[in-house]
């Protein structure tokens, strides 16, 4: 089952959602600001994405700048920061099986379909 970690207030996330709708495939929507992913779920996402946890962080968010910018954090500390502050998670994330992409640009999603 395809899954999208979605923020309806984000234009790129809405564009990614639209790509999935147009695909005609079934998919699950996780509004990750309401249903915050656990640390384990975030670790799995990072693994499926094939990136370092820091690469999933929205570094322009005020929370990041105020609390974390300029600090040297371990991967576990970055994961914890995203679990505690889900606004920091880059979006949208689309998962299909054990592969995932960040939908920035939204066209990245097509590679999973």
Say which of 2, 7, 9, 10 is annotated catalytic: 10
Which value, to the nearest 10 degrees, does the dihedral of the CA atoms of residues 75, 76, 77, 80 take? 130
Q: Give the whole-angstrom CA distance, residue 39 versus residue 103.
A: 21
3-state SS, residue 9: coil
**Enclosing H/E stretch for 63:** helix 62-67
Structure tokens at 33: 């600001």
| Annotation says 37 is catalytic | no
3-state SS, residue 3: strand
| Residues designated catalytic | 10
């Amino acid at each position: 089952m395809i899954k999208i970690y979605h923020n309806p207030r984000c234009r790129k996330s809405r564009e990614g959602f639209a790509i999935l709708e147009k695909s005609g495939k079934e998919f699950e929507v996780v509004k990750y600001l309401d249903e915050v992913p656990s640390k384990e779920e975030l670790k799995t996402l990072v693994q499926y994405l094939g990136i370092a946890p820091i690469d999933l962080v929205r570094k322009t968010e005020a929370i990041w700048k105020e609390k974390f910018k300029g600090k040297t954090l371990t991967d576990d500390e970055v994961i914890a920061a995203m679990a505690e502050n889900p606004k920091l998670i880059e979006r949208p994330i689309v998962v299909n099986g054990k592969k995932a992409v960040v939908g920035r640009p939204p066209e990245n999603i097509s590679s999973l379909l």
